Amino acid sequence: MVHFHLCPNDASLYVYTCSDAEDWFCECPPLYTGRLCQFNACERNPCGHGATCIPKSPLEAVCLCPYGRQGLLCDEPINITRARFSGSDEFGYTSFVAYSSIPSLSFFYEFKLKFTLANNSSSLKDNLMLFAGHKGQGDDGDDFLVLGLRNGRVVHRFNLGSGVAVIFSDRLNLQTNIHTVTFGRSKRTGWLKVDGQRNRTGSSPGPLLGLNVFNQLFVGGYNEYTPELLPLGSRFRNGFQGCIFDVQFRTRRDRKFQMLGQPAGHPAFGRSVGQCGVTPCVHVHCRNGGTCVDSGSSVYCQCPFGWKGALCSETVSVCDVEHTPPPLCAHGSTCIPLPNGYTCQCPLGTAGLYCEKAVTISDPFFSGNQSSWMSFPPMSIRHRTVLQLQFQPLSPDGILVYTAQHLSARSGDFLCLSLTSGFVQLRYNLGDGPHILQSVEQVDSRGRTWHSVTAGRVGHQGFLNLDNKETRENVTGGMATLDVATDIFIGGVSTLSFVSTDATEKEPVGFTGGLRELILNGEELELTEMGAISGANVGDWDGTACGYTVCKNGGHCRSTGSDSFMCVCPPSWTGSVCNQSVSCLNHVCRQGSLCAPSGVPSYRCICPLGLGGRYCDSEIATDTLKFVGSSYVKYQDPRYNTRNFKYTQVSFSFKTSSNNSLVMWMGKAEHEDDDYLAVGLENGHLKVAVNLGERLSLPITFRNVKLCCNTWHNVSISLNSTIIQVVVDNKRVLQDLDPFERYVALNYGGQLYFGGFEVYRNVSIVTSGLFSKGFEGNLRNVFLFKDTKPLQFLRNSKGFDVYEGNE
């Protein structure tokens, strides 16, 4: 359990399990960030490449650069061969680099490294050098390994869950420029050798022999250096100050040493890490007595009283209305201070240097060098996520689509589609580690080609198809649900430093280029200033009102002005956007029926339930119904409030010539986690699927009976708590869906669908791929629960395209 109140500043604490203190999350209020919401966040963020933005004042900021970046805005690349760390800065952050977790540390590990010390007394007092572990609770103990400096000595500590082993070196010889360290452990016995000193050993108390460490390995510091987050015995007051390099490890005595990271030598992420012997202050000239502060690769000016700005050159912030001259950003836009002036962040629907121009977005254009993004409300993508989009890139890197459980670098579950060095990558985490798929080929990043991508996952299985070349993930087992709650971000993210560190291969950047026709689980997102719920710095791809899908049904769009257009329609369509069938202009379909074109100039009338004939002008019998694949009946159970949800019965008779289709769906079918009892056909066999909660049971397919050939078959299904009995033509199957009885009631909302769903709903999408199409065949004698009479379809029902089945 969590024994102390972790989340200050009115943050909300979410606990996911009661066994491991890693499984909680503080949901921070605005303008706070960090695992404990202990850091202030920027309201106006000028930082690039996923840098951490720190507010110096309401209108000024400092950028702490991610690994591989340096400069005032972190917009300069840096090649790091020997990492330089600066310890903890004045804002409470430490410089560090994190590497992917090392498997097989349990019974043996050995590390060797070299280091040099910064020229100050605090570099020897209490400094973390290397750490892997977690703070545990209960049966999940405080397992860790740590190397650090304390009062001039190197210390190696480890805890296997039954107590801390501590091994100290002698005092360092400060005349030595480069120090060497070898330390390791075999079961309970550890060792430490520094420079030319003799080897020191020590043992862990208690009977435990294995080290259970599964998270990243940190060098130089920790991503959030807060004592409450680290296990007792591993805590140091400061991060390392100096250079650490040539770090190698092995997990067996008979193996060679190897470099950290996957691939070898490549960090997962980091912050404020510079190159040994190089200071970014040589490129920054603070004015008016300001002092340049070097924090690894991060750099900023500490201004004397009365001076402001990135270089201490202003007495009033450039974004303050009292500045001379005042900022010119239009009303509704946001002024962002820069080292040499300011920029204006434009809300959706505006553009220009000062956001003074109105812009109509038909196909959005994103500028990755700015904070450029759109967002849409969360959707039901928990069990199945299928993305389809077209894009034309102008840069080889950038986020196309992102959503997560939390908008934080420690995001929990996430899904990210992005460009990395010209390759399309799909990354997602369902709670058991990142899945990574990459396209076979690179895209054209010169703005000459519209690329098409279909990507996503069904359960834990991922897929990625770029321009009809497919990549699939070959995995078995694992978690199968994507639990996300943030908005769905397109083209970038509102704060790039809040993107999961596992979501991109390099530091996160926004997409640069055009994007069109984005479809998520069959629903097309309206990529306009009216369709998105939020966004910033988004323009229009070609500057005209002609978007990719403005004209429907193959119509061709012609621009008639900056914000107007006309559609040239093919012969069979008319209307301002080619959405009216020529065949249906003068139709005579009656009584609420729908007109559907059937070639030029003919059409057919789709009749509501209970009506038939060419123009839907005659009544039909409904004791036996005929479905044709596009038909559906939606029945509202009038006795729903008196039903026993723990004991469900349904029976019916049907005949069909189709091998694959949905016959019945008992449930609301509004969200993918709604309860349901579904019956249909798969390869000619009866398929029954039940969800009482969390989709714990797999569908059942009855392969001992072939249901075909237009002969009548009788089906009876009873669900008693979690025990399901299915009888098909007098052949019975009995199965327990969940012996643990975690969910025992079918909350079907009083709704049943027969044959399919509403005209605008796709069967495969609504059923999350359980069934591919609507029913083709006849249905009769439907009984619910213990009712003595069959359903009267003309009562409490509505539907379309259903025919009389007695013919």
Question: What is the three-class DSSP state of 595?
Answer: strand
The answer to whether the Cα torsion of 540, 542, 543, 544 is positive or negative is: negative
Q: Say yes or no to pLDDT of 711 above 60.
A: yes
Q: How far apart are CA 53 and CA 300, in angstroms?
A: 12
Task: Note the pLDDT of residue 568.
Answer: 96
Q: For residues 324-345, give the mean pLDDT.
A: 94
Q: For residues 441-459, give the mean pLDDT.
A: 94
Opening angle at CA 603, ends 600 and 604, nearest 5: 160
SS (H, E, C) 756-801: CCCCCCCHHHHCCCCCCCECEEEEEEEEECCCCCCCCCCCCEEEEC
Contact yes or no for 304/297 (Cβ under 8 A): no
Q: What is the residue-wise DSSP string for 534-576?
A: EEESEEESSSSS--TTTS-TT-EEEEEETTEEEEE--TTEEST
Q: Say yes or no to pLDDT of 782 above 90.
A: yes
Question: In this prediction, what percent of the chain has a pLDDT beyond 90?
Answer: 72
Neighbours of 602 (CB within 10 A): 8
Task: Note the pLDDT of residue 54.
Answer: 92
Instruction: Report residue 22's pLDDT band, with 50, 70 and 90 as the boundaries.
Output: low
Length of the chain: 807
96-272 fold: Jelly Rolls (2.60.120)
Q: Which residues pair with 396 in a beta bridge?
A: none
364-540 fold: Jelly Rolls (2.60.120)
Task: Note the pLDDT of residue 21.
Answer: 40
Each residue's pLDDT tens digit, 375-395: 999 998 999 999 999 999 999
Neighbours of 452 (CB within 10 A): 13
Each residue's pLDDT tens digit, 550-589: 999 999 999 988 788 999 999 999 999 999 999 998 899 9
Task: Note the pLDDT of residue 13.
Answer: 56
Q: Where is pLDDT greater, at 296 or 410?
A: 296
Q: Say yes or no to pLDDT of 58 above 90.
A: no
Least confident of 107-111, 130-134, 629-633: 130-134
User: 228 — phi, psi (to 5°)?
Assistant: -60, -20
Question: What is the three-class DSSP state of 122?
Answer: helix
Q: How far apart are CA 618 and CA 620, in angstroms?
A: 7
Q: How far apart are CA 433 and CA 430, in angstroms?
A: 7
Q: Say yes or no to pLDDT of 10 above 70.
A: no
Q: How far apart are CA 612 and CA 472, in angstroms?
A: 47
User: 637 — phi, psi (to 5°)?
Assistant: -70, 115
* CA-wise closest residue to 661 among 687, 635, 691: 687
Write the DSSP symbol of residue 200: E
Q: CA 397 → CA 202, 337, 483, 562, distances in Å?
A: 49, 25, 26, 30
Instruction: Report residue 14's pLDDT band, with 50, 70 and 90 as the boundaries.
Output: low
User: 227 — phi, psi (to 5°)?
Assistant: -50, -35
Q: For residues 80-90, give the mean pLDDT.
A: 93
Query: Domain 624-804 has what CATH class?
Result: mainly beta
Q: How far apart are CA 33 and CA 223, in angstroms?
A: 13
Q: For residues 256-269, give the mean pLDDT.
A: 92
Task: Note the pLDDT of residue 202.
Answer: 96
Q: How far apart are CA 338 and CA 345, in angstroms?
A: 12
667: exposed, middle or buried (C-beta count within 10 Å: 0-12, 13-18, 19+)?
A: buried
HSE-CB for 273 with a 13 A CA cutoff:
25
Q: How far apart are CA 451 and CA 516, in angstroms?
A: 10
Q: Which residue type occupies 237?
A: R
Task: Note the pLDDT of residue 9.
Answer: 63
Task: Note the pLDDT of residue 807.
Answer: 65
Contact yes or no for 797/635 (Cβ under 8 A): yes
Q: How far apart are CA 388 and CA 372, in angstroms?
A: 21
Q: Say yes or no to pLDDT of 760 above 70.
A: yes
Each residue's pLDDT tens digit, 204-254: 998 999 998 888 999 999 887 666 678 888 889 899 999 999 999 999 999
Q: How far apart are CA 649 and CA 636, in angstroms?
A: 16
Q: Euclidean distance between the first and final Cα of the chain, in Å?
A: 67
Least confident of 30-39, 409-418, 554-563: 30-39
Q: What is the residue-wise DSSP string for 72-117?
A: SSS-EE---SSEEEE-B-TTS-B-EEEEPPPS--SSEEEEEEEEEE
Question: What is the three-class DSSP state of 413?
Answer: coil
Q: Which residues pair with 682 in a beta bridge?
A: 685
280: exposed, middle or buried (C-beta count within 10 Å: 0-12, 13-18, 19+)?
A: buried
SS (H, E, C) 464-520: EEECCEEEECCCCCCCCCCCCCCCEEECCCCCHHHCCCCCCCCCCCECCEEEEEEEE
Instruction: Report residue 136's pLDDT band, with 50, 70 and 90 as the boundaries.
Output: low
Distance of CA 352 to the CA centre of its chain: 31
Residue 665 in tokens = 């769906």
User: 496 — phi, psi (to 5°)?
Assistant: -65, -25
Q: For residues 161-165, give the mean pLDDT.
A: 91
Q: For residues 308-313, give the mean pLDDT.
A: 93
Q: Which residues pair with 280 in a beta bridge?
A: none
Q: How far apart are CA 698 and CA 715, in angstroms?
A: 20
Task: Note the pLDDT of residue 698.
Answer: 84
Q: How far apart are CA 557 and CA 578, in angstroms?
A: 10
479: exposed, middle or buried (C-beta count within 10 Å: 0-12, 13-18, 19+)?
A: middle
Least confident of 326-335, 435-444, 678-687, 696-705: 696-705
Q: For residues 738-759, give the mean pLDDT.
A: 93
Q: For residues 775-784, give the mean pLDDT.
A: 96
The single residue listed with the structure tokens 């460009």 is: 419
Residues 6+ apart with CB under 8 A from 214: 101, 134
Instruction: Report residue 1's pLDDT band, with 50, 70 and 90 as the boundaries.
Output: very low
User: 191 — phi, psi (to 5°)?
Assistant: -145, 160
Q: What residue ranges do the domains of the chain occupy? A: 1-37, 96-272, 364-540, 624-804
Q: For residues 21-32, give the mean pLDDT.
A: 72
Residue 417 in tokens = 């589609």
Q: How far apart are CA 783 and CA 653, in angstroms?
A: 10
Q: Where is pLDDT greater, at 659 or 697?
A: 659
Q: How far apart are CA 429 and CA 395, in angstroms?
A: 26
Neighbours of 691 (CB within 10 A): 24
Neighbours of 696 (CB within 10 A): 14
Neighbours of 488 (CB within 10 A): 23
Cis bond before residue 434 (omega within 30° of 0): no
Task: Note the pLDDT of residue 116.
Answer: 96
Q: Say yes or no to pLDDT of 42 above 50.
A: yes
Q: CA 722 → CA 438, 481, 647, 738, distances in Å?
A: 41, 22, 9, 6
Contact yes or no for 389/518 (Cβ under 8 A): yes
Average pLDDT over the chain, rounded to an integer: 91
Task: Note the pLDDT of residue 673.
Answer: 87
Task: Note the pLDDT of residue 363.
Answer: 94
Write the DSSP symbol of residue 228: G
Residue 644 in tokens = 């026993």
Q: What is the residue-wise DSSP string for 125-174?
A: TEEEEEEEE---BTTB---EEEEEEETTEEEEEEE-SS-EEEEEEEEP-T
pTM greater than the 0.75 cutoff: yes
